[in-house]
């Protein structure tokens, strides 16, 4: 089944747009569509919070990376400011996704 996002008015694909696509193209009702999209992203967030990597085959990997504390500098004043240690989410695209994006940039038609 191929989903079309050509009807999007803005260049951003939002959770609301994803829910609308599920409603229009899969046939779920609007409430089920919204709940399914929210549940999907909640599952990703919960997994990352627990320290579990999220791997979506053919798309990419989401991981949590711990960044150490380091000295920083206010670019306007030059004042030294300590940057605290923190955890950040990272995304690495799969080779398949990179290939599809590159083929599309080269003028080839994308394949699902």
The pLDDT of residue 9: 58
Single out the residue of 112, 67, 59 nearest to residue 89, CA to CA: 67
Same domain for 33 and 58, yes or no, is no
Residue spans of the chain under pLDDT 70: 1-10, 107-112
- The answer to whether the beta carbons of residues 48 and 54 sit under 8 Å apart is yes
The pLDDT of residue 3: 53
Q: What is the pTM of this model?
A: 0.72
Same domain for 94 and 80, yes or no, is yes
Domain carrying residue 110: 53-112
Domain count, the chain: 2
Q: Which two tokens stand for residue 77?
A: 């004043």
- CATH number at 103 reads 4.10.520.10
The pLDDT of residue 106: 77
């Amino acid at each position: 089944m191929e989903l079309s996002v050509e009807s999007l008015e803005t260049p951003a694909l939002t959770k609301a747009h994803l829910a609308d696509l599920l409603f229009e193209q899969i046939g779920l009702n609007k409430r089920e569509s919204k709940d399914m999209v929210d549940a999907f992203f909640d599952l990703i967030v919960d997994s990352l919070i627990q320290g579990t990597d999220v791997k979506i085959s053919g798309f990419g990997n989401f991981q949590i990376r711990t960044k150490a504390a380091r000295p920083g500098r206010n670019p306007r004043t030059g004042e030294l400011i300590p940057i605290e240690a923190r955890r950040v989410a990272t995304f690495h695209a799969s080779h398949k996704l990179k290939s599809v994006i590159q083929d599309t940039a080269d003028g080839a038609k994308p394949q699902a």
